[in-house]
Structure 1
Amino acid sequence: MDLFSRSWTALRTAVAELPDEDFTRPSGCTGWLVRDLVCHLVIDSQDVLITLATPEATEPTRDAVTYWEVTRTPPGGDDLLDALTVRLAAAYEEPRLLKFHLDDVGSAAGRAAALADPDLRVGTRGEVLTAGEYLSTYVLEWTLHHLDLIAHLPHAREVPAEGLSRSRRMLEEIAGAAFPATMSDEDVLLVGTGRRTPTGAETACLGELGAELPFVLG
């Protein structure tokens, strides 16, 4: 629960510190500008609020690892919700409006998470998780999107090391295998989720695991 808050605060702070011109630069999400990614974070914030306000009485069906639907096919840009996000982001026109909306809804999501009982059962996407497990999924979500945010912005606030470490362990649980210790947490997340192609040296040390890449999470 604490790591959720720290990861989310770091990501929102990174967005708040961006100069306006950065919002039209590319992000690490294929086909998305930084403004599109930030708009997606607003939608994610709404999802957190909705889920925490959707209690369930039945036993959990997923946890922080099994929550994810994993494919090997990166997004092609033809998803209707992705296209809607791009149009919605463009409608803001001024970055300050997008920043304000993220701060407003994102802060509310952060407060709701801090107040949530980690054992509360909540429903999302037709599944049931405890609030603690659900919020743990977002440590990985926030960390990956923080990497996406700063992919082409070397001056932006970096991703917290503890979020990178925890997200690496989660990805390894999802993959059912450990990535080479010689690879940094950031490189594991970027290569493992298909955000960049492994180098020749990385391919060699990945061995059989390299043939299973990428693990595209949805």
Structure 2
Amino acid sequence: MTADLSGTFDPVDALRASYGAFAAVVETLDDDASWLPSGCTGWAVRDLVFHCAGDAQRALVALHTPVSAPPDRDSVTYWRDWGADQTGAANGRRWARVSASMFLDFGQLRALYLETAAATVVAGAAADPTRTVRTQGHVLRAGDLLTTLAVEATVHHLDLTVSLPGAAPPAPEGLAAVRATLDGLLGRPVPLDWSDEHYARAATGRAPLTQEERRALGSDADRLPLLS
């Protein structure tokens, strides 16, 4: 069963806003700031930026290689495989950290991210949202792919700014995509008066649940995190 997020937000607007907000923070970073810890276990800011550059590159490849197969995932069900391969995830964390460390000048990595993200936004805006594309071993409509990209960029924006208290927050459009996705994974609107940012943190394991929150969620509390 697929989720229908139509009418909740526009995927192109969500991608443009979330990538733009993330890029605006990255653009201000110098080499010293790039070594600050991020909200991702074991990653400094530069490691996270490298990971997000790779995500944008993956999107560019997907958007330029349409397939004829029908979709087997949408913007919600795409995330249901996120914790299946723990070994692969651990190897991916190590690979990102080692690869990011090879940029002796963070300015080079910063430029790589900024130009790749900008190209992804252009490609996303030009894509037919109903066209199917392949990524991460699954087939999605291009519009659903854009939503997943906005969600990942927004959640990682929260990670990026953990040690940057003066940085701008994620884009509202990206946070709306995150809320809609999390509600879709939960199967209902979250029964708590959470801000978009706190919902993003709590439902992805970045903020622990209080006892009151667990009581309000009931059995759904044990299903968190819904994605990471």
Same fold (TM over 0.5): yes
Report the counterpart of residue 58 of structure 2 in structure 1.
Answer: 47
Give the deviation of 1:73 after TM superposition: 8.5
Give the deviation of 1:79 after TM superposition: 2.1
Residue of structure 2 aligned with 1:134, choices 145, 158, 162: 145
Q: Distance in 2 between matches of 1:95 and 1:215?
A: 33
Report the counterpart of residue 223 of structure 2 in structure 1.
Answer: 212
Report the counterpart of residue 198 of structure 1 in structure 2.
Answer: 209
Structure 1 counterpart SS, 2:49? helix
Identity %: 36
2:210 is aligned with 1:163: no
Report the counterpart of residue 115 of structure 1 in structure 2.
Answer: 126
Moved more, 70-79 or 50-59: 70-79
Moved more, 136-145 or 16-25: 16-25
Residue of structure 2 aligned with 1:102, choices 113, 118, 124: 113
Q: Is the 8 A contact 1:72 1:215 kept in 2?
A: no
Report the counterpart of residue 151 of structure 1 in structure 2.
Answer: 162
Report the counterpart of residue 18 of structure 2 in structure 1.
Answer: 7
2:46 is aligned with 1:35: yes
73 and 57 in structure 1: CA distance in 2 versus 1, 3 angstrom threshold: closer
Report the counterpart of residue 101 of structure 2 in structure 1.
Answer: 90
Q: Distance in 2 between matches of 1:211 and 1:8?
A: 31
Moved more, 72-81 or 121-130: 72-81
Q: Is the 8 A contact 2:192 2:216 kept in 1?
A: no
2:136 is aligned with 1:125: yes
Tell me the alpha carbon deviations over residues 171-192 of structure 1, each in whole angstroms, 9 at most, x when there is no partner.
1101213223311111111111
Give the TM-score of the pair, scaled to structure 2.
0.87
Q: Name the amino acid aligned to 1:212.
A: R
Q: Distance in 2 between matches of 1:49 and 1:178?
A: 32
Give the TM-score of the pair, scaled to structure 1.
0.91
2:200 is aligned with 1:189: yes
Structure 2 counterpart SS, 1:142? helix
Give the deviation of 1:72 after TM superposition: 6.5
75 and 125 in structure 1: CA distance in 2 versus 1, 3 angstrom threshold: closer
Structure 1 counterpart SS, 2:77? coil
